[in-house]
Every structure is written in C-alpha cells, then in structure tokens.
C-alpha cells in the first residue's frame, strides 16, 4: 500500500513535532531566556579564586582566558587571538561511525566533573564501560573550535542528549560547525563547568544536526 504525498508530509510533520518535544530541541533550542540570561563562571575549580567572568552566550564570541592565579583556562565573553592546545587523537574522522568506547577504563576529568554535577559522583565510580550512556535533556552553549584550538565562529546553543565517561551526545536545529568544541554547562545549571570535545560523528536530517563527541584534554 503506497502513501500519498500529502499523507507523507503529514507523517513527517508529526514525527518532527514529536521528535522536537522528546528531545527538547527545535524552537526551544534558542529560547529567549537562553539568549538574555547572564551567567558567571563564579569560582576557579583549581584554586578557588573568584571569577566574575560571563560564560559563553549564543550568537556572541567567546575566547580562552587564563585564571590570574593558577592559569587554568576558561572560555568567557571575549574575542582575542588566544587558543588552547588540545591532546587529540587524529585516528578518528568527523564523519566516521558512531563513537566507540575507549580501550581503557580510566574516567577522564571532564567526565568525572559532569557526572558529579548532573548524575552524582557514584555514577563515575560505578561505570566500567565507556559505552554506557545516560540520557539527558539539558541546554548547553557550544564554542566551535578549529584544529588549532582557536574559536572559529560565534557560540551557539545545543541540547545535551546523553553523557558517558567517554563523551556526549548533542543536538541542534540547523548546522553545527566545528570539528572541536568547548561545551559550557552554565545554562544547564552548572556555572564554571566546561569541557573540550572532538566531534567523532555528525548526522544531519530534516534540518536537525546530531553530534557524537569525545572528551579531549587541554594541555596547560
């Protein structure tokens, strides 16, 4: 039994509506409060110095700035020529198959920080397979980076779909530029929590982009 063109369009529209609702994307990705609400990094995680620096915001440039006391790098609202050195693995391509689990069980600092903030510290301790992914639905702000660790465009909003000890699942409407990303979690309720990631795979369909990213470590 064939499906007529109007019926197919109706089915696609219904699917996209349900998809947006379940994943908290579509128009909610660029909700007005995300564009206007201001957040601060607040406190350096390395030395506890107070940092009244604004966190990255959508449609604005952000750049790396070191803490004046310990040199730990945070991305804040700025535009300069600074960059970060990332410990990257060039064996994976952006458009490769979905992210595979790491060959070791060591949980990266970025993962421990996120597990503690969103799932509780016990999750990071109990997890033994990096392929285990915990579903999420939270807004984040992403700063796209080039291979040299420098910002290449203004920050944009994404939806966090899942967390594992190896990386994240992210989604947004429209294009998601950048082979490397700085992900800021202030709008998700964790100011000062930032992580670097490499895009391992990218899927685009019906105007929606979904990314699978793995954590990478900055070399300070």
Which helix or strand (DSSP H or E) is residue 215 part of? strand 208-218
Q: Which residues pair with 141 in a beta bridge?
A: 157, 184
Alpha-carbon gap, residue 155 to 194, rounded angstroms: 13
**Per-residue pLDDT for 125 more than 80?**
no
Q: Which residues pair with 167 in a beta bridge?
A: 214
Alpha-carbon gap, residue 100 to 214, rounded angstroms: 9
- CA distances from residue 197 to 14, 28, 29, 78, 201 in whole angstroms, order as listed: 33, 24, 20, 20, 12
pLDDT tens, position by position, 209-218: 999 999 998 8
Residue 26: name the closest of 136, 139, 143, 149 by CA: 139
| CA 160, 218, 84, 38 torsion-angle sign | positive
**Per-residue pLDDT for 66 more than 70?**
yes
Q: Is residue 1 part of a domain?
A: no
pTM of this structure:
0.75
Q: Is residue 92 part of a domain?
A: yes
Alpha-carbon gap, residue 10 to 3, rounded angstroms: 11
Q: Is residue 73 part of a domain?
A: yes
Which helix or strand (DSSP H or E) is residue 5 part of? helix 5-23
Domains in the chain, number: 1
Domain that holds residue 20: 6-218
pLDDT tens, position by position, 130-178: 567 888 889 999 999 999 999 999 999 999 999 888 899 999 999 999 9
Supply the CATH number for residue 189's domain. 2.40.10.220
């Amino acid at each position: 039994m064939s499906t007529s063109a109007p019926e197919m369009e109706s089915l696609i529209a219904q699917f996209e509506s349900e998809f947006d609702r379940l994943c908290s994307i579509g128009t909610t990705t660029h909700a007005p409060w995300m564009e206007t609400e201001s957040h601060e990094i607040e406190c350096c995680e390395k030395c506890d110095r107070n940092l009244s620096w604004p966190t990255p915001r959508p449609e604005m440039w952000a750049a790396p700035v070191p803490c004046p006391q310990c040199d730990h790098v945070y991305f804040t609202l700025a535009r300069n020529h600074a960059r970060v050195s990332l410990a990257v693995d060039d064996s994976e391509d952006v458009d490769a198959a979905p992210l595979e689990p790491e060959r070791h069980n060591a949980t990266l600092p970025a993962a421990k920080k996120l597990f503690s903030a969103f799932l509780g510290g016990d999750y990071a301790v109990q997890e033994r397979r990096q392929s285990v992914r915990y579903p999420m639905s939270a807004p984040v702000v992403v700063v796209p980076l080039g291979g040299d660790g420098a910002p290449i465009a203004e920050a944009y909003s994404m939806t966090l779909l899942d967390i594992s000890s190896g990386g994240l699942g992210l989604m947004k409407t429209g294009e998601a530029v950048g082979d490397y990303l700085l992900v800021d979690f202030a709008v998700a309720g964790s100011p000062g929590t930032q992580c670097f990631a490499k895009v391992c795979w990218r899927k685009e369909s019906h105007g929606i982009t979904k990314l699978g990213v793995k954590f990478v470590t900055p070399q300070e």
